[in-house]
Chains A and B, each alone.
Chain A
């Protein structure tokens, strides 16, 4: 398995509190992604990063912010958690490079977040 670790793996938090999820990689891959997965909605991209301090929004970015100050770490912050943000969050990484590069995405184990 690729070196990608999510923490925490499970978290219960109260509505209105800030929450930060961490994704750590040891593969030196350029791209990092945060997805949420909910029944009936598949994977939805929240934010992604294409380099240190380079991030962009995905399709469901409202209420979330990200930061990438180092290649290996990509943080997802729920600024003020709401019950609608109860979900399973997956981090993924992928490489870039010249033609023929392996651009396969590798996924973390997921974080189950419950907002009560």
Chain B
């Protein structure tokens, strides 16, 4: 069955700390992978996406993610977080022939 798992429900960090949010997927066929961010009171917006090619993907606002096919993982990273990164982060998987599946989300709180 298709699924996306995010292991961390709530992460609390201080400003300037490094961030890594885990995401594992189970999805048949050629998979496209995404990270979305939802700032308080807003809708989901795309942070970055992986379709093919270089497994290290760079997105907006200094975020990056690495696709590791052997581990079925697509973890999100940022070397130094800011207070403005406080948000909820969703990992998702999809393909050209099927619907997109979202993980349950990780709430990130940044202490100033």
Contacts and interface: CB of A to CB of B under 8 A. Distances in A.
Interface of A: 31, 33, 35, 41-43, 45, 48, 50, 90, 92, 94, 96-105, 107-110
A61 to B, nearest CB: 14
Contact of A50 (B52, B99, B105): B99
A43 B101 CA distance: 10
Contacts of A41: 104
Contacts, number: 61
Interface stretch (B13-21, B57-65, B90-98): B90-98
Query: What's the interface size class on B, roughly?
Result: 20 to 34
Contacts of B95: 103
B60 to A, nearest CB: 13
Nearest to A96: B96
A104 B43 contact: no
Q: Which of A97, A100, A103, A110 has the most CB of B within 10 A?
A: A103
Main secondary structure of the interface of B (DSSP, over half): strand
A103 B50 CA distance: 10
Contact of A104 (B34, B52, B88): B34
Interface in B25-55: 30, 32, 34, 36, 43-46, 49, 51-52
8 contacts: A42-B90, A43-B44, A43-B102, A94-B99, A101-B96, A103-B100, A105-B34, A109-B43
A102 B95 CA distance: 9
A100 B104 CA distance: 26
Given A100-B52, A105-B94, A33 B99 contact: yes
Q: Which of B30, B43, B44, B94 has the most CB of A within 10 A?
A: B43
B105 A103 contact: no
Contacts of A102: 51
Contacts of B100: 31, 33, 92, 94, 103, 105
